Structures are given as structure tokens and as C-alpha cells.
A and B are shown apart, each in its own frame.
Chain A
């Protein structure tokens, strides 16, 4: 089973600050997904990255896939309280696309 390590585990910042969350593995990802999970809900897909070096933007969120496809980062610009949640990276394996999840980064954005 591929292990995905996320850092930091916890992040508490003020509104307007920037932050970066990391997802690393010793194995090569075929693709990588980022999810956000809010309290009391299931994870919701934010983005899928497939190509090494790929950069995708989703409003204030920028996702980058490492050139060697072993790591990924999520950068949030000018964080807002609505960004609060658990951010999970995940890699799909096998024909059934079984997801292996990272350990998660819990983000809290305060006013």
C-alpha cells in the first residue's frame, strides 16, 4: 500500500495569510487528488493532477504536481474562514481506483 504523508498536520492562520500544504510519497503516483472535508461531511474532490510538473488553479487554490510525480502541494492565497477544513491528498490504484488517503492537514482560518 502506498503511503502518503502530509505536512503540516495542523495549521492555524489568520484571514488573509497564505499557506502551503504538502503531500509526499516514496512511490510514484499515477495521479493524485486533493479533497477538502468539512466537519460532519464526506470529502469533496477539489482537483486531480496527472502529469508531472502540472499546475492547476481553482480560484485562490493552486495545486502543483512534482516533476517526478512523488509529491504534490496545495497553496492557498489570502485564506478565508471558509477555507477551514481537513485537506486530504489521495492516490488511486488499481482498476477499481481504490483511493489511498494521506494523513490529512487540518486548517483553521480565523478572523
Chain B
């Protein structure tokens, strides 16, 4: 079972560059999320989606964009990368039909902006 797959695992960006973090899930989950985690801290919600074509901002959306053209994919776009965006990014998904609100996380994407 693949679960939630994120690519790339590691990336170094120069200030001002742009890139897309890919996230795919094969569990037919409607809900998907992007979080960032700064060193030694908890996770903060960037964007989320409740289904294809529907996205909404989380706690820290500035500097990011998302799209949800299919149920499976939820890419996160960084425009004009800044050092403050150096972090670990986690994609997650959940089915609203599951009891206990179990959310499944990917393994993370480490991004450094220099």
C-alpha cells in the first residue's frame, strides 16, 4: 500500500525560485492537507481541500498556492521562495467516512531556501 506519497524528498532552492511539491494518495480520500513543520515544532496547516476542485486556506497560506484537479493529487506551489519557507512539508489525507478521524501523513519533503 503506497498511502500518501510526496516528492521530492529533499530540495534546495535559491531565493526567488519557484517549485511544486507533489502529493498523491491512493486511498480515494476526499480530504487532503498540506502542513509545514519548523525544527522542533508542531505542524501548521498551509492549505486544505475537501474534494476535487475545492481548496481553502489554512493557518499559514502566504507564499503558497494549491490546486486539486483530481481526488488523488494535491500539489503545493511555492512562488518566489524565501528563507522563511525553509521547513519540512507534510501532505496528509483522510476519508470523511472513516471513524476516529484518522489522518494519514506522507513522509515529508525537506526544503531549504538559500
List residues of A whose CB falls within 8 A of some B CB: 1, 4, 6, 31, 33, 40-45, 48, 86, 88, 90, 92, 95-104, 106
Complex contacts, A6 vs chain B, CB 8 Å: 42
Least CB distance, A83 to chain B, in whole angstroms: 18
Contact between B101 and A102, CB atoms less than 8 A apart: no
**Is B48 in the interface zone, CB < 8 Å from A?**
yes
Contact A40 B108 (CB under 8 A): yes
Report, nearest first, the 8 A-B pairs whose CB atoms are least far apart: A42-B105, A101-B42, A101-B43, A97-B101, A48-B100, A104-B42, A96-B50, A42-B90
Contacts of B111 in A (CB 8 A): none
State whether the Cβ of B102 lies closer than 8 Å to any Cβ in chain A.
yes
Complex Cα distance, B58 from A98, in Å, reads 8
B41 interface residue, CB < 8 Å from A? yes
Q: What's the Cα separation between A1 and B45 when bound, in Å? A: 11
Contact in complex: B42, A45 (CB < 8 Å): no
Q: How far is the CA of A48 from the CA of B48 in the complex (A)?
A: 21
Given known A40-B108, A42-B90, contact A88–B43 (CB-CB < 8 A): yes
**What's the minimum C-beta distance from A95 to chain B, rounded to whole angstroms?**
7
Q: A97 and B106 in contact (CB under 8 A), knowing A1-B59, A106-B40?
A: no
> In whole Å, how far is A79's beta carbon from the nearest beta carbon of chain B?
20
A48 to B29, CA, bound (A): 19
Could you say which of A4, A33, A97, A100 contacts B31, with CB atoms under 8 Å apart? A97
Closest to B30 in A: A96
**Are A45's CB and B103's CB within 8 A?**
yes
Please measure, in the bound complex, the distance between the C-alpha atom of A86 and the C-alpha atom of B41, giving whole angstroms: 9
Known A40-B108, A42-B90, A42-B106; judge A48-B41 contact (CB<8 A): no
Q: B61 → chain A, closest Cβ, in Å?
A: 12
Closest-by-CB residue of A relative to B92 is A42
